[in-house]
């Protein structure tokens, strides 16, 4: 097995964060063999930034905003068809420690999808967890239990696209991300499907800094909508992949979740009516099986 790595960075209207991400990629002690920037039809001058400051990096310009799910599908498909052994996927809002790729490749004898710990300004993200078969939802632990017990790595059944290193054969077996998610849950579900075909691991090494915490993260109407609607897509895919779920319990828990989101939206300071209606729309579109970009995009 080879170790040629293509880094795939998906970006949308966050050029100030993209610059930091790309700079950290170029400073890797073991540089990726190729860097592909997938631009999700940005309108903030992202292309000007790339052309002026990073002219040697390859760009894949999408005609419309397909969300993170569509962007990663396009980028991973391109890297896979180009013959790379590993695809290193990331959003534009992370910075990588200089030894990040070198450290991840050192674990390739153990894992086929490799994740490392992610750092927020207030400390490392707690990321170990398990699937709740009743609600088709992920439940995270209060602490990274395996690391607290002295282990240096652990297997997991989910993923994120904020620095995951994916072996080529995983795409051969598990396919590409489902672009119908648009945002929210696409990477988690991809990791679950990948875990059915390969070994997905989480390593006790803080290699990623998350930059967009509040001000730059997608929020408001779109997340109230997707947090409800995409539950139905996750349910569909889990059943398709052989998980026995109880539809009545799933619907009950989803209605409770939707009601909670509506109450949360009703207390929001901005766009209160829009946020409440977005949660209702998400529930209705999930019941109808309407996936893809939100209807107002």
Q: Which residue has the higher pLDDT, 2 or 195?
A: 195
* Residues 165 and 86 both lie in one domain: yes
pLDDT given at position 34: 96
92 falls within a domain: yes
pLDDT given at position 242: 86
Cα 210 from Cα 200, distance rounded (Å): 21
* Residues 169 and 82 both lie in one domain: yes
Enumerate helices (H) and strands (E) in the chain, giving the number of each: 10, 12
pTM of the model: 0.88
Tens of pLDDT, residues 174-220 = 999 999 999 888 999 999 999 999 999 999 999 999 886 555 555 68
C-alpha dihedral sign at 170, 172, 177, 180 = negative
* Cα-based distances in Å from 106 to 99, 123, 133: 11, 24, 33
Q: Which residue has the higher pLDDT, 273 or 170?
A: 170
* Cα-based distances in Å from 278 to 46, 55, 203, 223: 29, 40, 37, 8
* Residues 265 and 183 both lie in one domain: no
Cα 277 from Cα 176, distance rounded (Å): 32
294 falls within a domain: no
Categorize the per-residue pLDDT at 246 as very low, low, confident or very high, splitting at 50, 70 and 90. Answer: confident
Tell me which of 176, 210, 244 is where a domain ends.
Answer: 210
Strands (E), 215-283: none
Q: Name the pairing type of β-strands 137-140 and 34-39.
A: unpaired
Cα 80 from Cα 15, distance rounded (Å): 26
Highest mean pLDDT among 89-103, 130-144, 269-283: 89-103
Q: What single-letter DSSP state applies at residue 126?
A: P
pLDDT above 90 for 22? yes
pLDDT given at position 123: 76
Terminal-residue alpha carbon distance, the chain: 42
Cα 202 from Cα 205, distance rounded (Å): 9
Identify the three-state secondary structure at position 207: strand
Phi-psi region of 29 (alpha: psi -120 to 50; beta: other; left: phi over 0): alpha
Tens of pLDDT, residues 25-65 = 999 999 999 999 999 989 988 999 999 999 999 999 999 99
Helix (H) or strand (E) holding 222: helix 221-240
pLDDT given at position 216: 52
293 falls within a domain: no
CATH number, domain of 145, equals: 3.90.550.60
Q: Name the pairing type of β-strands 86-91 and 58-61.
A: unpaired
Q: What single-letter DSSP state applies at residue 210?
A: E
Question: In terms of DSSP H, where are the helices of 82-185?
Answer: 100-105, 145-148, 168-174
1 with 111: CB under 8 angstroms?
no
* Residues 129 and 226 both lie in one domain: no
Percent of the chain exceeding pLDDT 90 equals 60
Average model confidence (pLDDT) for the chain?
90
Tell me which of 188, 210, 232 is where a domain ends.
Answer: 210
30 falls within a domain: yes
pLDDT above 80 for 117? yes
Which residues are CB-contacts of 144 (< 8 A; sequence separation ≥ 6)?
117, 124, 126, 127, 128, 202, 204
User: Mean per-residue pLDDT for 154-172?
Assistant: 93
Q: List the domain range (segments joined by +) for residue 135.
A: 5-210
**What is the domain count for the chain?**
2
86 with 171: CB under 8 angstroms?
no
């Amino acid at each position: 097995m080879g170790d040629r790595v293509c880094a795939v960075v998906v970006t949308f209207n966050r050029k100030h964060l993209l610059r930091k991400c790309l700079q950290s990629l170029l400073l890797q002690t073991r540089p990726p063999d190729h860097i592909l920037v997938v631009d999700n039809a940005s309108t903030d001058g992202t292309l000007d930034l790339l052309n002026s400051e990073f002219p040697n990096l390859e760009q894949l310009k999408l005609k419309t905003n397909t969300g993170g799910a569509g962007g990663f599908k396009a980028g991973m498909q391109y890297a896979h068809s180009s013959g790379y052994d590993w695809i290193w996927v990331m959003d534009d809002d992370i910075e990588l420690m200089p030894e990040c790729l070198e450290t991840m490749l050192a674990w390739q004898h153990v894992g086929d999808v490799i994740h490392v710990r992610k750092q927020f300004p207030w400390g490392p993200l707690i990321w170990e967890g398990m699937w709740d078969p009743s609600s088709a939802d992920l439940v995270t632990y209060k602490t990274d239990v395996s690391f607290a017990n002295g282990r240096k790595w652990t297997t997991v059944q989910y993923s994120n696209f904020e620095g995951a290193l994916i072996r080529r054969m995983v795409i051969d077996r598990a396919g590409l991300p489902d672009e119908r998610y648009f945002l929210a849950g696409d990477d988690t579900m991809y990791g679950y499907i990948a875990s059915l075909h390969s070994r997905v691991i989480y390593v006790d090494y803080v290699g990623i800094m998350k930059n967009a915490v509040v001000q730059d993260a997608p929020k408001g109407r779109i997340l109230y909508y997707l947090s409800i609607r995409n539950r139905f897509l996750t349910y569909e895919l889990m059943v398709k992949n052989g998980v026995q779920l109880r539809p009545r319990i799933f619907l009950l828990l989803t209605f409770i979740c939707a009601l909670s989101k509506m109450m949360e939206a009703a207390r929001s300071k901005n766009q209160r009516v829009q946020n409440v209606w977005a949660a209702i729309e998400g529930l209705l579109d999930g019941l109808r099986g309407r996936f893809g970009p939100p209807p107002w995009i």
